[in-house]
Structure 1
């Protein structure tokens, strides 16, 4: 419509204004489910192993994503703290795989509610990793953990 801008200008605008627009959209979003599915997957970022922690509700909506270099209780606790802050309430049911870090983090944070640990029940979270894997292949691997966090958030 008569305005000529380069692709680089559009990219810079997206980087500058994208987080603010995303925050405003999240505020308008409806309340999410009270059943959370948590899972982690290994990513190679810059030649080093990192873990992508993901939380999904019962409807498949991604609640949050966190990239960490660890796969321990401290990392699981950080994800749960971030989720509690963002969602404003604890889940009624927490569904995870058999990783012991989830139970330890839940216990340390004093979260109530049921905790189901079963490999087969966590398919919703497992399946939510597939688009990330596709993006990872298209981009010929990720180079920086901060870049991955911004890209997936």
Structure 2
């Protein structure tokens, strides 16, 4: 495949596979130095990013360029189910009431069925309610995608963290990123592994939503290169709760999520867990009012203003 040949007269060596004109140097499309504008060379080539350094020894600036094609898509983009309420046996307001009781409270499917039967005189099995709470994740994700472009997340800090959940008794890691001023969960990624590629995935998913002045995380080293490569902003690594800047905001979300998650006694499959988490985050961002935000939702703090009729169109009220 890489056989070389040598000329008997001039002793020049070449390989037929090298489609390069003799005497013409190879050109590589390396980016220029962002500081002085001169040429740069490849210093380190990693899986998710490339590290370049300026050729000028006086400058010697080192910079990082991400490889978006090598960063995997987050699990929040891999949902399954229905994208509308068409061909449903029960009225929409009954379904939304059941979803609100499940995601805003700690009610089990059987308790929700009991409440619907005693209060609304609606006979629904707990199995049907379980299917409702899972199958509509793509529809609510589409609603979020319609509303998010109008929101402002260019705040001082974004917080990143991960927490453990169990799916069929096996450990999985839920990676999260949250805006400090609005408490809006910008993205999540569910994965079996806890390493730098997963940090690249969740941080890359939130990048189009805005540019923070700093990103806060714990001292886990997996966040260091993704923050430096994708954002290039200040990275605050919290060491203890006595620091001036802490990661308490996202820890509070984790605590609230775990309180809801413990009532489920784990998840039955990865796909169902991914859908349920996506729905929980939607209700957290757009439906649940927060006392710390003057009883507003995170979306309202980010600039979302909707009329009552528009809320009904987007199924934000039952």
**Common fold, TM-score beyond 0.5?**
yes
Q: Deviations over 1:9-58 (max 9, x none)?
A: 66656655542244224422422243210001111211111111111111
Distance in 2 separating the partners of 1:96 and 1:106: 10
Q: CA RMSD in A?
A: 2.5
Q: Output aligned runs, 1:51-90, within 5 Å.
A: 51-58=173-180, 59-85=182-208, 87=209, 89-90=210-211
Residue aligning to 2:308? none
Matching of residue 149 in structure 1 with residue 235 in structure 2: no
Residue aligning to 2:216? 95
Q: Flag as ranges the 4+ runs of structure 1 deviating above 3 A.
A: 3-18
| Change over 3 Å in CA distance of 1:94–1:21 after alignment to 2 | same
Residue aligning to 2:234? 114
Q: Which has the higher strand share?
A: 1
Q: Deviations over 1:91-122 (max 9, x none)?
A: 2210000011101222343x221110014311
TM-score under structure 2 length normalisation: 0.42
Ranges in structure 2 where 5+ consecutive residues have no aligned partner = 1-90, 92-121, 279-318
Q: Which has the higher helix share?
A: 1
TM-score under structure 1 length normalisation: 0.81
Residue aligning to 2:146? 27
| Change over 3 Å in CA distance of 1:50–1:90 after alignment to 2 | same
Residue aligning to 1:104? 225
8 Å CA contact retained: 1:37, 1:125: yes
Residue aligning to 2:167? 45
Greater Rg by CA: 2
| Change over 3 Å in CA distance of 1:21–1:72 after alignment to 2 | closer
Q: Which has the higher contact order (CA 8 A, sep 6+)?
A: 1
| Change over 3 Å in CA distance of 1:14–1:43 after alignment to 2 | closer
Tell me whether 18-27 or 95-104 shows the greater mean CA deviation: 18-27
**Count of matched residue positions in the alignment of Structure 1 and Structure 2:** 149
